A and B are shown apart, each in its own frame.
Chain A
Amino acid sequence: MGSLNEIVKQQQQSLTKPEENQFEEVVQLVGFIVGEEEFAVPILSIQEIIKPIEWTKVPFTPDYVLGVFNLRGNVLPLIDLRIKFGVPANNIDENTRFIVMKIKNEDVAFIIDRLTSALRIQKKNILPPPETYSNEDEIIEGVGRMEDGRIITILKVDNLIRREEIVPNSE
């Protein structure tokens, strides 16, 4: 939970930063690491972040669908973004988290390797994804250039999973 506390602290700090231009449009993001790369999603799309719990495999699904698990009485699908992005899956360790996000009114959980921080980025600093990226399924919303020079890939939450990819022959 340490990292979550940090995020909250950073968020508070950034909120109290006086030099921020109030009129600039600012996007708030949560950053995390999957494989080697840092990604971010809008903070409002996140329902909650939990520590890993046991899940149940579901047959006939793509390998990035790890299965389903019980979150307070609801059955949620669990997606491994590491497999989805084609990076080797690390073992689950103390930094691994499930991020629960709302996609098309359904809660879906994603495994990530580590949370980094809450980010505030001005909209003008978000650039469209470079053409060299393979972005066929429109997973990437854009690329954020942070003030410290870091480059962060911002994900388009709604496109992270699609039903037709998971259950192809559904009637």
Chain B
Amino acid sequence: MDEIQELLEDFLIEAFEMIEEMDQDLVELENSPDDLDLLNKIFRVAHTIKGSGSFLNFDKLTRLTHHMEAVLDKARKGELTITPEIMDIILESVDAMKGILEYIRDNGDDSAPDIDIEPIVAKLDAIVNGENKSKEEGSSEKQKNEKPTKIGNINLDEITLENADEIDLDSLEPEELDAVLEHLVELRNKNEGPKKTGNINLDDITLENADNIDLDSLSPEEADAVLDHLVNLRNQQPAQPNKDSQEEKKEEPKNEEKEEKKEESKQITPAKKQELSNEQKKKEVKKTISSIAEQTIRVDVKRLDQLMNLIGELVLAKNRLIKIYNDVEERYEGEKFLEELNQVVSSISIVTTDLQIAVMKTRMLPIGKVFNKFPRLVRDLSRELGKKVKLIIEGEDTELDKSIIEEIGDPLVHMIRNSVDHGIEPPEERKKAGKPEEGTVWLRAYNEGNMIVIEIKDDGKGMDPELLKKKAIEKGIITESEAANMSDKEAFMLIFKPGFSTASKVTSVSGRGVGMDVVKTNIEKLNGIIEVDSIPGQGTTFKLKIPLTLAIIQALLVASQEDLFAVPLSNVIETVRIVEEDIYTIEGKSVLKLREEVLPLVNMADVFEIEKVLQPEKYLYVVILGLGATKIGLIVDRFIGQEEIVIKSLGEFLKGIPGIAGATIRGDGRVTLIVDVGSLMRLAKETHNKKVVTESLNEAKKRKEKPEDYTVMLVDDSAMDRKIMRQALEELGVNLIEAKDGVEALQLLKSNDVDAMLIDIEMPRMDGYTLAQEIRKYNKYRKLPLIAVTSRTTKADRVRGVEVGMNEYITKPYTAEYLQNVVRRNLGL
């Protein structure tokens, strides 16, 4: 049973692949109907499916392919020219084949009750009989249905396999005989399918391939049947060419098989030749399959996923190792073992990266898998719409992660439909515009850094930004003032808004305003970006940019106030440094003018409702995020850098928090949250509508003008020294608080708003260096002036002071005036 199951699976995989290929070839054939090689190829595919199908007892499938094959064979021999009408029917039967195959895949048999092959078979037969040149489908069908039931004096419906013996064949007219025989063959095909014994299909066994049969594996009856069959075959061989012996033999109902052969040879084509070449082809196929099998193995995707997870862990460990190495390097500068350590760390990091790429590659599939269905789609569409469209595909070898390949199909279908339906004009219109009647759609894929770009381009009528805006205003998608501030590129993006439809008349193909909206959502799900460019009268170009893989990503680490976030680099268009004057407020909404574009601007701290503790600085740092068709500027407080991160889930309880896609573990072992750009964009939009950035920036800014507004902390273990400092600074009028060691100073710092600190170096519990180091760990104290006041005067001491983050170094003793000046300068008084 397992063997059969395996066989079935192989058959399905092969059949689906072949049918896909056939689809493409057929469309190509339509363009060059005389290409004999192509015809032969298509014919072979149909034949192979028929052969394997009958082997597995799929009668419905076999019957359909058989009739299709007949048409193809006629075309192959030059007796039939493939017209678009005939192609429609062939393609229809290919679709039915697909349907049946899908049913087999899901249910294990080919009963497929939803698919009625009879009308298709009738149409195919009509073509073979040369009746369907341009006639209505219905009439030929009717003819076909009436025809077989009654021929001459014989009512075919009365003839069954059981009563076939009773027919006096000699008394029949030649046509009657033909009809009866055809009817019998059909009956047999319907009722029994190919002759079968146990698991063996005798029809597939010929003298040529008899050697391949493993007799030991057969049951006694099966072996007997096979041997009988072979003996029969050998006896028949010399007799076969003898056409005269036909009639006598047909009277023996046992030899139905032979009947079929003769029947076919008379009725449609020399079937015997086919059958023979079939065997040859089967051998060829077997050969190619076995040679491929030596080089490839099928692997369960789950195993690859597991491998990918392990590599993720390895990447984290590697990041951590690099971090530790950097720490060690600082501490033991010049030591010999550092060199060795460095070598190990670099080689591990190189191997890890290579390993990651290698595993990623095992999950990659050529995008051709998706592209393959488009020639057919474009062909059907252009016929339906009465347009002439040529599809040019490039870069189908470009590889993408399997999971992405699965997601990308639907959006691409929508986009191609859109290009053919809305982009390309009808032939007359094109002619008037001085363009060739036949429009062209390009579908192109290529790599660009860590992204893959899929480009859909047409040479159609293009889009008019003003028209789009007008339409969007009519539909209430944007307001007039919004439209006035909109650049052309932004206007093109309107087509991705829900409820927007550009075609003035809605066709069955597109124009319901659903498609493009769905495209946007799907691309965003993959962290992709959409770009649109269009020139009226010359065509439109869509670019989908999608990251190569989903599990390990490059991220930009940014800090908003004290919190770190990782932003997927694929969504970062650029980072800019601006000053507050670059921000404009239009109707209560903040925007950033960046070159030609006007971008909505929000503060990340507002989006995530992070408490503001940092004083605003002169320069603001902005991340320009792009997702799908939208762009937005996000103000952060610091850029940390770019890092490779592994996406981890936040677990059942926390997953699905708005704006957060997951978490990653950094080299120092801390957890950093990963931003979900899609969700962040939605949050940002809300924030943008209610919060003016310039106001939000000033929330943390407490106006300090007078010296009384400032607080200075004095840290010294000697009460005497504190007193000297106090006396010197009281004249300034600033507030003073005192701490007698580093530990106390840290506590006081947290509960007080301190503007500057004077720090002694030598103190119990925690010395001044350590205190400075601890303070600098907090983002909000990054700029807090720290002034060392000490009697240690060597150069090494000063260097150490700078290293731990001291701003100034004052040596004892000092004059009161000097201290005041230093403090005043550091406070900006």
When A and B form their complex, which 5 residue pairs have the shortest distance between CB atoms, in order from nearest? Answer: A59-B608, A170-B656, A56-B671, A75-B663, A106-B652
One of A54, A106, A163 near B670 (C-beta < 8 A): A54
With A and B bound together, what is the CA distance between A107 and B649 in angstroms? 13
**In B117-173, which residues have CB < 8 Å from any A CB?**
none
B670 and A58 contacting across the interface, CB-CB below 8 Å: no
Residues of B within 8 A of A (CB): 313, 316, 563-564, 608-610, 648-660, 663, 665, 669-673
A163 and B653 contacting across the interface, CB-CB below 8 Å: yes
B672 and A56 contacting across the interface, CB-CB below 8 Å: yes
**In A10-60, which residues have CB < 8 Å from any B CB?**
54-60
B671 and A55 contacting across the interface, CB-CB below 8 Å: yes
Determine how close the nearest CB of chain B comes to the CB of A6; give it in whole angstroms. 28
Which residue of B651, B656, B665, B670 has the most chain A CB atoms within 10 A of its CB atom? B651
One of B563, B655, B656, B658 near A57 (C-beta < 8 A): B563
Determine how close the nearest CB of chain A comes to the CB of B506; give it in whole angstroms. 31
One of B313, B563, B653, B673 near A77 (C-beta < 8 A): B653
Q: Is A171 an interface residue (CB 8 A)?
A: yes
Q: Is A65 an interface residue (CB 8 A)?
A: yes
Interface string of A61-95 (1 = CB under 8 A from B): 10001011110011111000000000000000000
A70 and B608 contacting across the interface, CB-CB below 8 Å: no
A166 and B653 contacting across the interface, CB-CB below 8 Å: yes
Q: Which residues of B lie under 8 Å from residue A169 when comparing CB positions?
A: 658
Q: Is the interface of B mostly helix, strand, loop or mixed?
A: loop
B650 and A75 contacting across the interface, CB-CB below 8 Å: yes
Determine how close the nearest CB of chain B comes to the CB of A132; give it in whole angstroms. 30
Q: Which residues of B lie under 8 Å from residue A151 when comparing CB positions?
A: none
Q: Is A101 an interface residue (CB 8 A)?
A: no
Q: Which residues of B lie under 8 Å from residue A155 when comparing CB positions?
A: none
Q: Which residues of B lie under 8 Å from residue A73 when comparing CB positions?
A: 313, 316, 665
Determine how close the nearest CB of chain B comes to the CB of A109; give it in whole angstroms. 11
Interface string of A90-121 (1 = CB under 8 A from B): 00000000000001111110000000000000
A69 and B671 contacting across the interface, CB-CB below 8 Å: yes
* Identity of the chain B residue whose Cβ is nearest the Cβ of A67 in the assembled complex: B671
Q: Is A126 an interface residue (CB 8 A)?
A: no
* Identity of the chain A residue whose Cβ is nearest the Cβ of B610 in the assembled complex: A59
Q: Is A139 an interface residue (CB 8 A)?
A: no
With A and B bound together, what is the CA distance between A169 and B657 in angstroms? 9
B656 and A68 contacting across the interface, CB-CB below 8 Å: no
* Identity of the chain B residue whose Cβ is nearest the Cβ of A65 in the assembled complex: B654
One of B316, B655, B659 near A60 (C-beta < 8 A): B659
Determine how close the nearest CB of chain B comes to the CB of A51; give it in whole angstroms. 14
Q: Which residues of A lie under 8 Å from residue B650 when comparing CB positions?
A: 58, 68, 75, 77
With A and B bound together, what is the CA distance between A59 and B608 in angstroms? 6
Q: Given A61-B657, A106-B652 in contact, is the A75-B609 Cβ separation under 8 Å?
A: no
With A and B bound together, what is the CA distance between A139 and B648 in angstroms? 30
Provide 8 A-B residue pairs closer than 8 Å at the C-beta atoms, listed in order of the A residue.
A56-B670, A56-B671, A56-B672, A57-B563, A70-B665, A70-B670, A75-B651, A161-B653
Q: Which residues of B lie under 8 Å from residue A75 when comparing CB positions?
A: 648-651, 663, 665, 671
Q: Given A69-B671, A70-B670, A75-B671 in contact, is the A58-B657 Cβ separation under 8 Å?
A: yes
Determine how close the nearest CB of chain B comes to the CB of A134; give it in whole angstroms. 23
